[in-house]
Amino acid sequence: MKKYNLNHLRELEAESIYVLREVAAQFERPALLFSGGKDSIILVHLSVKAFWPAKIPYPLVHIDTGHNFEETITFRDELCRKLEAQLIVGSVQESIDDGKVVEESGYNASRNLLQTTTLLDTIEKHKFDAAIGGGRRDEEKARAKERFFSHRDEFGQWDPKNQRPELWNIFNGKKIIGEHFRVFPISNWTEMDVWQYIYMENIDIPSLYYTHERDVFLRDGVWLYDAPFMTKKPDEKVERIRVRCRTIGDISCTGLTISMADSLEDIIQEIAATRITERGGRADDMRSEAAMEDRKKEGYF
């Protein structure tokens, strides 16, 4: 008998594409949250596949902290141009200027938390009823309990103890006006799956993921980029070394990895050998044991 099976990447791909089409079918104004990181790049790639030869039926939304790596912005603009995709930018700087949020100060100041307000404002302003995100269940323990279709109330809040049961591949996106959903099509992917898929599909990623020379300093065991707005403690010395990003987020909380990996093969080998999770370098998660859960309840990504 003929063998009918898909490898694990094709099966995950089929599942994610199914979820993306459910979003397009069940919601009136969906949007894809694009950060410029590998997970959201995969979401864009899967979206192209889900609807081709039609265009992606939703805009890309970038919540810009103003503290992004330059390469991220260049990459974002180039991708949108190539796909003829609509880009909507929500600016954290504007939220600060409007007095909606107050900039944190001190050594560990980060705009990461402020993004939640800008994100919720952007969702409300454009009346988005579904925001597609690149969250994965293997990333963090609070994310391990997340649904594919995750309901948010009229304040954008997540109620982890009262989530809708999700069985088979039947997704319940019913809601009342003012509520919205966060949708996580790559819930079941691991970091390794993401890299293998990027390799298999030959997907373009920002150069930040490959080894490059950069001015960095060490804080609490994490290498951070010495961007102009970063406040250093007196004993923190800047060094120029070869690093790469394992995740890409706001500069203030993106830990860099010392690495010589300059190809996808190298990166895959590096991930296979590593003994630290990718969020191990995320200063935002180290604030407390339930840091992610607390942020998510308020409406974070």
Partner 1 sequence: MMEEKEFSSKAYLDMELLRFTTAGSVDDGKSTLIGRLLYDSKSIFEDQLEAVKKASIKRGNESVDLSLLTDGLRAEREQGITIDVAYRYFATPKRKFIIADTPGHVQYTRNMVTGASTANAAIILIDARNGITEQSHRHTYIASLLQIPHIVVCVNKMDLVNYEEETYEKIKNDFQAFAAKLAVKDVRFVPISALKGDNVVEKSKNMPWYEGGTLMYILENIHISSDHNHIDARFPVQYVIRPQRDEFHDFRGYAGRVAGGTFKVGDKVMVLPSGFTTTVKSIISHTKEFEEAFPPMSVIISLEDDIDISRGDMIVKENNVPDIGQDIDIMMCWMSEKPMRLNGKYALKHTTADARCLIKDVKYKVNVNTLGKILDDKNIGLNEIARISLRTTKPLFYDSYRQNRKTGAIILIDEADNTTVGVGMIV
- Residue 102 contacts partner 1 per CB under 8 A: no
- Residue 28 contacts partner 1 per CB under 8 A: no
Q: Which two tokens stand for residue 261?
A: 């990996």
- Residue 129 contacts partner 1 per CB under 8 A: no
Q: Distance between CA 140 and CA 144 in Å, rounded?
A: 7
- Residue 52 contacts partner 1 per CB under 8 A: yes
Is the CB of residue 60 less than 8 Å from the CB of residue 157?
no
Identity of the residue, 226 or 293, whose beta carbon is nearer to partner 1 in the bound complex: 293
Residue with tokens 């649904």: 147
Is the CB of residue 283 less than 8 Å from the CB of residue 255?
yes
In the list 99, 106, 165, 228, the residue contacting partner 1 (rule: CB under 8 A) is: 165
Residues 254-293 that bind partner 1 (CB under 8 A): 265, 268-269, 272, 274-277, 280, 289-290, 293
Three-state DSSP class for 127?
Answer: coil
What's the closest the beta carbon of residue 87 comes to partner 1, in angstroms? Answer: 19
Residue with tokens 């995969």: 42
- Residue 170 contacts partner 1 per CB under 8 A: yes
Part of the chain binding partner 1 (CB under 8 A), chosen from 29-37, 90-98, 141-149, 230-238: 141-149
Q: Distance between CA 6 and CA 9 in Å, rounded?
A: 8
What's the closest the beta carbon of residue 222 comes to partner 1, in angstroms? Answer: 11
Strand ranges for the chain from DSSP E: 30-33, 60-64, 87-91, 130-132, 149-152, 180-183, 212-219, 222-225, 239-245, 256-258
Which whole-number Å values give the CA distances from 268 to 12, 36, 105, 246, 260, in the listed order? 18, 20, 37, 11, 12
- Calculate helix-pair angle for 38-51, 70-83, nearest 10 degrees: 0
- Residue 3 contacts partner 1 per CB under 8 A: yes
- Residue 6 contacts partner 1 per CB under 8 A: yes
What's the closest the beta carbon of residue 38 comes to partner 1, in angstroms? Answer: 17
What's the closest the beta carbon of residue 22 comes to partner 1, in angstroms? Answer: 7
> Which residues lie near partner 1 (CB under 8 A)?
3-8, 10-15, 17-18, 21-22, 24-25, 48-55, 137-138, 140-145, 160-161, 163-170, 172, 174-176, 187-188, 190, 192-193, 196, 199-200, 202, 265, 268-269, 272, 274-277, 280, 289-290, 293
